[in-house]
Amino acid sequence: MKRYTDDTEGGIHASEHGSRLTEREWHQREEQLSEELAKAHRLREMLVSIMGHDLRTPLSVILGYSGLIKKQSNDETVKRFIGKIESAAMNADEMIRDIKTYSKVKGGVFESDLEEIDLNAMLSDILRALDGKIEEHGITIDMMYQTDKRFPVLGNELLKNAFLHTIDNAIKYSPEHETVTLTLDDVGSDWVFGVSDHGDGIPDDEKDSVFERFMRKEKRGIKGSGIGLAITESVVDAHNGSVRIEDNPGGGCIFYITVPKA
């Protein structure tokens, strides 16, 4: 009986020893994963930094010399080709900006970064920034909200980027000489911003996927990074808000951004 007891105790001790070894292994594995995650984060930051400087610098040179050639040339064929070069360079620059923004969003939005922003003033800044694109597409912007009222929220520059992408997207997918309507409503403790276009619309089974990275509605002639709406959803979510898409009764779709009042 004593031998049985010894064996049992030995088994218990072995089991406890094995448990301690397993626990140590788990800690080692956690430390290893944490180290790998930190390395991956540093690598991501390095790549984003390279894109932000080393890639944008030659793009600036391309755009500068392209503009100079187009200005000095009287050959329409040359001007047309230069226009294509400029368009490709600007598209690449937009992609780099979007990737930098997406990386910043994934780094987290903290309360210390937030300040009171007036959505009305912010939208005015956005429309001024998009003025060239609005004119190029012959789009009419219909502002269906009180432009003399303050709509305060707690946010940062990323929130402005999210709203910009939503309006820019409506302009891109609207037929030329159409109207893009902007609304801003007071709903309880939130402000609800709406952007409606008269494009082809989005099928119900694709409405969620447009917010995924590099997922975009196929349409010839439409350029972009494919992460604009992914940025929008991530930023709005970080500001305790939400984004949704509905069908526009007049054709096209309506993007809604809901954010808490300040």
pLDDT digits (tens, 9 = 90+) for 91-128: 777 777 777 777 777 666 555 578 999 999 999 999 99
AA identity, residue 198: H
Q: Is 51 helix (H, G, I), strand (E, B) or coil?
A: helix
pLDDT on residue 14: 43
Tell me what percent of the chain is helix, strand and coil, each rounded to the nearest 5: 60, 15, 25
pLDDT on residue 92: 78
pLDDT on residue 3: 44
pLDDT on residue 112: 56
CA distance 154 to 159: 9
Per-residue pLDDT at 219 exceeds 90: no
pLDDT on residue 222: 44
Question: Among 54-63, 134-143, 189-198, whose mean pLDDT is lowest?
Answer: 54-63
Across 240-261, average pLDDT? 93
pLDDT on residue 88: 81
Mean pLDDT of the chain: 80
Q: Are 243 and 236 in contact (CB under 8 A)?
A: yes
Give the range with max mean pLDDT: 3-12, 35-44, 226-235, 252-261.
252-261
More confident residue, 246 or 216: 246
Q: Name which of 203, 200, 199, 230 is nearest 214 in CA terms.
A: 230
Q: Name which of 154, 151, 157 is nearest 184 in CA terms.
A: 151
* DSSP conformation class of 47: H
pTM of the entire predicted model: 0.65
Q: Name which of 100, 151, 97 is nearest 122 in CA terms.
A: 151
Question: Among 118-122, 155-159, 191-195, 205-209, whose mean pLDDT is lowest?
Answer: 205-209
CA 131 centroid distance within chain: 21
CA distance 193 to 170: 13
Query: Looking only at Cα atoms, what is the longest distance across the chain?
Result: 107
Per-residue pLDDT at 174 exceeds 50: yes
Q: Following DSSP, what letter does each residue of 162-217 receive, concatenated? A: HHHHHHHHHHHHSPTT-EEEEEEEEETTEEEEEEE--SS---GGGTTGGGSTT---
Per-residue pLDDT at 70 exceeds 70: yes
pLDDT on residue 2: 41
pLDDT on residue 242: 95
Strand partners, 213: none
Q: What is the pLDDT of residues 182-204, one digit of tens each?
A: 999 999 999 999 999 998 888 88
pLDDT-derived band at 58 (thresholds 50, 70, 90) equals: confident
